[in-house]
Structure 1
């Protein structure tokens, strides 16, 4: 069984996500507890999945959650650079290119999946779960990249560029 459990979020990112979602009155420990609770719920989904349909639902749910996290980090990142139109434009261009790459990569992994019938015939009933896994892997990598902009790069890294330093 594929394990889609999410890595634990660091506390800075959890706090930023709490602020972004408008629940700034929540305490940081509560936000961290909620993130851990979501991870536990995700693992519980996989532990209870006894059919391909249930496993597919777990995989797609994990991908949806990762998409929400990625989008929240992206919004925070854009907000941090909102005063610099050129940087905003380039970050948007990079995100659009990344989304195109992710879609093209999934198509390359599953080249016969142009239609639902073709995907089912070629890859079987596990295709939606496997598609989610391929997309999830790349989305987790992108989350780590976006987190560098949100959390910053340790001071002294001369290659930080627009990712800045913590607190910037």
Structure 2
């Protein structure tokens, strides 16, 4: 019986060590979004550098990114159309998590201009057209 009590105390202690406040979870989610956004901007800048000689691509690429930011913001409004306080204390974390998801998707979509397409792909468009 004594060993069961000790085991329960140890489990309770380990759970308490992992528990976070809502403010901590909001802060962590916000940092994850900042990190994802930083990664996206790094990829974006690498593409601009790699394709700098292809002015037509660069102009279209910049426009596409500008429009993606508008789409991202519109998607966020569609996901959370009410005022922030109507979603409660979890809203900052939920918002950041959704922005992180959208940003990671965009980052992966942009990587194609750095990593190329699979061998044999015939519809390459501007991928690899650095001149």
Which of the residues 88, 102, 115 maps onto 1:124? 88
Counterpart of 2:20 (choices 41, 45, 50) is 50
**Whose RCO is larger (CA < 8 A, sep 6+)?**
2
Q: Which residue of 2 aligns with 1:147?
A: 111
Gaps of 5+ in 1: 1-46, 114-118
Find the aligned partners of 2:61 and 2:22 in 1 and give their Cα distance: 38
Aligned pair 1:134/2:104, yes or no? no
Q: Give a deviation string over 1:38-59, Cα, whole Å, max 9, x none.
A: xxxxxxxxx9551110001110
Contact 1:49/1:55, CA 8 A, preserved across alignment: no
Tell me how far apart the structure 2 counterparts of residues 129 and 49 of structure 1 sit (CA, whole Å). Answer: 15
1:90 aligned onto 2:60: yes
Number of positions where the alignment pairs a residue of Structure 1 with one of Structure 2: 114
Aligned partner of 1:164 in structure 2 is 128
8 Å contact from structure 1 (residues 149, 164) kept in 2: yes
The alpha-carbon distance between structure 1 residues 71 and 92, as it changes in their structure 2 partners (threshold 3 A), is same
What is residue 79 of structure 1 aligned with on the other side? 49
Please list, as runs of the form range in 1=range in 2, the aligned pairs for 1:3-42 lying within 5 A after superposition.
none
TM-score (normalised: structure 1): 0.64
Structure of higher CA gyration radius: 2
CA distance in 2 between counterparts of 1:71 and 1:78 reads: 10
> By how many angstroms is 1:132 displaced?
0.6
1:106 to 76, 79, 94: 76
Instruction: Name the structure 2 match of 1:31.
Output: none
Q: Could you say what secondary structure the match of 2:111 adopts?
A: helix
Q: Give the TM-score normalised by the residue count of structure 2.
A: 0.81
Aligned-pair Cα RMSD in Å: 1.8
Query: What stretches of structure 1 move > 3 A for 4+ residues in a row?
Result: none
